[in-house]
């Protein structure tokens, strides 16, 4: 039960420590449009990612599973929320069920509650092709995530210490699966160099998982006797990471996640070039504190508000939103400038 208990510990500590709220999106401002020439009724944010057509660019990102009855209940209700709001949903790492078949129910429940929805499977960078296929089949996944979490593993008392061969395993899994592969970080962001490495082995969908949301270094440090405090502020903020990633290649589908909570932050992330947005900790907290109905209501409000913001910007769809003008200031400006990215291009 050690792994299962760890999953419960992660949830409880994540809820207690909360979101960092340091995503860098506060440094991004839209240039106001006084004549948007658009009707709210005509706004459509349908998006296509890796051949999958999604009615919403927002999806419930990987959270949990493999922790027995409690994580089965959470995934059941998240799947219901996804079904009722037309969103895709990713389950948490399925390694627990790979190693203990008794944990499969905590993942399969997502497909049972949402038989026609878009579900995304999940394993870590240590996974083999066989394990990825088994995890994908377990929930009849429409897409599959491989998460990379070096800082979390190094901070985790019982975590991995050997990271040799991850890129080659990702390449093999990408070639072998019959569903789109997403490679995601878990809250420490991706640099343009990492994105280039993934692109070089054929990965075309990347979730930057930026710093600013749930902090897995902080979570694991809560479980350590000797705290590795230097990892608590380690990572690339979400805004900078999205911009670094989208500047690698137009052939890539970049997903944004990491502390993105409200519709304005979502609009900013999409305008910066993200094709989809993963939300995890914010939805988990809403569900825990207010229940399933309130979570569904909040997701519906988010969709409504996102359309209102797009109307204000004169953007009838996501490609038009990506053409809106923005000014980037503060730490995000300084980071990107030193990294060789011309921020003034977004304002022009």
User: Given pLDDT bands bounded at 50, 70 and 90, which one contains residue 1?
Assistant: very low
Q: pLDDT value at position 342?
A: 97
In a domain, 344, yes or no: no
Average confidence (pLDDT) over 82-102: 95
| pLDDT over 70 (residue 248) | yes
The CATH number of whichever domain residue 191 belongs to comes to 3.20.20.70
In a domain, 327, yes or no: no
User: Given pLDDT bands bounded at 50, 70 and 90, which one contains residue 64?
Assistant: confident
Q: pLDDT value at position 10?
A: 59
Domains held by the chain: number = 1
Average confidence (pLDDT) over 39-50: 95
In a domain, 335, yes or no: no
Tell me the average pLDDT of the chain: 93
Q: pLDDT value at position 225?
A: 92
In a domain, 341, yes or no: no
Average confidence (pLDDT) over 53-63: 94
**Percent of the chain predicted with pLDDT > 90:** 86
Q: What range defines the domain where residue 13 resides?
A: 2-28+51-300
Write the pLDDT tens digit of every residue in 326-335. Answer: 999 999 999 9
DSSP 87-126: -EEE---THHHHH-GGGTHHHHHHHHH-TTS-EEEEEETT
Average confidence (pLDDT) over 66-76: 89
In a domain, 167, yes or no: yes
In a domain, 243, yes or no: yes
| pLDDT over 90 (residue 120) | yes
Average confidence (pLDDT) over 216-222: 91
* Overall pTM surpassing 0.85 (yes/no): yes
DSSP 232-283: TT-S-BHHHHHHHHHTT-TT-EEEEESS--SHHHHHHHHHTT-SEEEE-HHH
In a domain, 326, yes or no: no
């Amino acid at each position: 039960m050690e792994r299962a208990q760890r999953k419960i510990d992660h949830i409880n500590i994540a809820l207690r420590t909360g979101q960092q709220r340091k995503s860098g999106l506060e440094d991004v401002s839209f240039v106001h449009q006084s004549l948007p020439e658009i009707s709210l009724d005509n706004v459509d944010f349908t998006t296509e990612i890796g051949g999958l057509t999604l009615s919403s660019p927002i999806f419930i990102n990987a959270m949990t599973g493999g922790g027995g009855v409690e994580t089965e209940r959470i995934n059941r209700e998240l799947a219901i929320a996804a079904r009722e709001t037309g969103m895709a949903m990713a389950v948490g790492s399925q390694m627990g069920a790979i190693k203990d078949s008794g944990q499969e129910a905590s993942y399969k429940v997502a497909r049972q509650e949402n038989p026609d929805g878009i579900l995304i499977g999940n394993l870590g960078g240590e996974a083999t092709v066989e394990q990825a296929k088994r995890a994908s089949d377990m929930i009849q996944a429409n897409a599959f995530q491989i998460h990379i979490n070096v800082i979390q593993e190094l901070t985790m008392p019982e975590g991995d210490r050997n990271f040799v061969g991850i890129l080659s395993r990702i390449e093999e899994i990408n070639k072998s699966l019959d569903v789109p592969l997403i490679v995601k970080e878990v809250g420490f962001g991706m640099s343009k160099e990492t994105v280039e490495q993934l692109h070089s082995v054929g990965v075309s969908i990347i979730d930057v998982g930026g710093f600013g949301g749930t902090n897995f270094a902080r979570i694991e440090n809560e479980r350590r006797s000797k705290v590795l405090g230097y990892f608590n502020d380690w990572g690339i903020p979400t805004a900078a990471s999205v911009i670094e990633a989208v500047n690698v290649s137009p052939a890539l589908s970049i997903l944004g996640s990491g502390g993105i909570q409200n519709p304005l932050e979502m609009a900013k992330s999409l305008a910066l070039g993200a094709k989809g947005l993963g939300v995890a900790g914010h939805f988990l907290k809403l569900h825990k504190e207010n229940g399933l109905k309130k979570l569904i209501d909040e997701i519906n409000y988010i969709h409504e508000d996102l359309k209102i913001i797009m109307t204000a910007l004169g953007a009838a769809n996501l490609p038009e939103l990506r053409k809106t003008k923005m000014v980037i200031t503060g730490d995000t400006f300084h980071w990107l400038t030193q990294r060789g990215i011309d921020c003034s291009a977004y304002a022009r």
